[in-house]
């Protein structure tokens, strides 16, 4: 009896030891990977507050000894990019004035299109939907020359309005896809009942569809905002200098390292460019991930 109990104890102890080591391995691995993911972020954040002299002395990857905000001020308003010394502020605002309208317009169009393609289908609407979807897969390169021509004709070269147009047209297929797939899940009976009560197209849209839409609208807005903010190709091709969005300006800034590279200012500039999407990610992470997985699997 006692022997058997001892054997069970031994076995339990072995099992718990195994459990401890497997937990240790799991957390150990996760910690190593987390370090690899976080170190680049820490490096930039630290360097944006360190003195350039200190960076030159202690190296780029090092804990900070000093703390100052001057690099941020310089990156924002006085640092020189390709001969103009106004920092990143113009480019940051360009990105903002490009991203906000383009996000709102493409999301609204996507919502209305998705509503038509799910609740007001007509002959051929499925085919049209499939054709619109092709826009999701098109590489931007194939549209560069045509866009350059169209923007030139419209007088929108080197302008934020031109980029808004490009991003809205390119974004419609994504936003329509997101909204249509979400609205398909709203029961048709709801719409039928409203129609029998005499509600028309727009009334149903505003009174029934819109109140049910916040989850998908948040996903779509986050997807569009981060996508357009982070876009580089169209920005660098269709605008130059002071009219460039922040991604293009960042490349110009880090390329124009004439003498010693000022890592302090460049780090602050990089963070200014990364902050809006990062903040959205931190506060709307759930919706961000939902957009990613939906966009991917559908």
Partner 1 sequence: MSIHDLSVPIAVPARSWRDRLGSIVPILVLAPSLAASFVYVFVFTGWTLYLSLSDSTLLPSYGFAGLDNYVSLWSNRRWNIAYTNLFLFSGFYIVGSMAVGLLLAILIDQRVRGEAVWRTIFLYPLAVSFIVTGTVWSWLYNPVDGIQALVRGLGWSDFSFALTSDRNHAIYAVIITGVWQSSGFAMALFLAGLRSVDPDLVKAAQIDGASVVRTYRKVILPTIAPIFLAVAVIQIQFAIKTFDLVAALTRGGPGISTTFPAIYVYDLMFQRGEIGEGAAAAVMMLAALAVVLVPYSLWVVWRRRAEAGNG
61 binds partner 1 (CB under 8 A): yes
Phi-psi region of 244 (alpha: psi -120 to 50; beta: other; left: phi over 0): beta
251 binds partner 1 (CB under 8 A): yes
Candidates 17, 19, 65, 192; binder of partner 1 (CB under 8 A) is 192
According to CB under 8 A, which residues from 210 to 229 bind partner 1?
Answer: 226, 229
Rounded Cα–Cα distance for residues 245 and 92 (Å): 7
Candidates 173, 213, 244, 262; binder of partner 1 (CB under 8 A) is 173
Looking up tokens 């357009």 gives: 228
Task: Say if CB 245 and CB 239 are below 8 A apart.
Answer: yes
Nearer to partner 1, 78 or 121 (CB): 121
The length of the chain is: 298
Rounded Cα–Cα distance for residues 255 and 242 (Å): 16
Nearer to partner 1, 1 or 282 (CB): 282
The alpha carbon of 55 is separated from its chain's Cα centroid by a whole number of angstroms, namely 30
Which stretch in 68-76, 83-91, 96-104, 165-173 sits in contact with partner 1 by CB under 8 A? 165-173
* Helix segments in 120-213, DSSP class H: 125-137, 144-154, 160-183, 188-196, 201-204, 210-212
Nearer to partner 1, 69 or 289 (CB): 289
According to CB under 8 A, which residues from 258 to 277 bind partner 1?
Answer: 261, 263, 266, 270, 273-274, 277
Q: Considering only CA atoms, which of 225, 227, 243 is closest in space to residue 235? A: 243
Candidates 147, 178, 182, 183; binder of partner 1 (CB under 8 A) is 147
According to CB under 8 A, which residues from 277 to 296 bind partner 1?
Answer: 277-278, 280-282, 285, 288-289, 292-293, 296
Candidates 153, 255, 258, 259; binder of partner 1 (CB under 8 A) is 255
Cα distances from 52 to residues 64, 71, 175, in angstroms, run 11, 9, 44
Candidates 99, 176, 213, 239; binder of partner 1 (CB under 8 A) is 176
182 binds partner 1 (CB under 8 A): no
30 binds partner 1 (CB under 8 A): yes
CB of 278 to partner 1, least distance (A): 6
CB of 30 to partner 1, least distance (A): 5
Looking at the DSSP bridge assignments, the partners of residue 81 are 84
Nearer to partner 1, 13 or 39 (CB): 39
Q: Considering only CA atoms, which of 107, 108, 72 is closest in space to residue 92? A: 72
């Amino acid at each position: 009896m006692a022997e058997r109990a001892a054997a069970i104890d031994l076995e339990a102890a072995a099992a718990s030891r195994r459990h401890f080591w497997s937990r240790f391995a799991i957390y150990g691995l996760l910690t190593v990977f987390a370090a690899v993911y976080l170190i680049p972020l820490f490096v930039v954040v630290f360097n944006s507050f360190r003195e350039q002299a200190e960076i030159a002395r202690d190296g780029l990857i090092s804990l900070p000894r000093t703390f100052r905000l001057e690099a941020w001020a310089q990156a924002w308003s006085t640092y020189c990019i390709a001969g103009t010394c106004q920092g990143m502020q113009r480019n940051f605002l360009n990105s903002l004035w490009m991203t906000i309208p383009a996000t709102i317009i493409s999301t609204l169009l996507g919502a209305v299109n998705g509503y038509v393609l799910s609740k007001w289908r007509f002959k051929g609407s499925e085919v049209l939907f499939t054709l619109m979807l092709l826009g999701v897969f098109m590489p931007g390169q194939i549209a560069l020359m045509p866009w350059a021509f169209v923007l030139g004709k419209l007088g929108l070269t080197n302008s934020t309005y031109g980029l808004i147009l490009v991003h809205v047209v390119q974004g419609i297929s994504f936003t329509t896809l997101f909204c249509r797939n979400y609205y398909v899940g709203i029961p048709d009976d709801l719409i039928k009942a409203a129609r029998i009560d005499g509600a028309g197209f727009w009334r149903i849209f505003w009174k029934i569809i819109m109140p049910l839409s916040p989850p998908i609208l948040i996903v779509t807005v986050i997807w569009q905002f981060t996508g357009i903010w982070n876009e580089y190709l169209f920005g660098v091709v269709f605008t130059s200098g002071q009219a460039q969005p922040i991604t293009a300006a960042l490349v110009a800034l880090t390329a124009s390292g004439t003498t010693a590279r000022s890592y302090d200012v460049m780090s602050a500039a990089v963070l200014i460019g990364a902050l809006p999407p990062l903040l959205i990610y931190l506060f709307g992470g759930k919706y961000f991930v939902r957009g990613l997985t939906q966009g991917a699997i559908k």
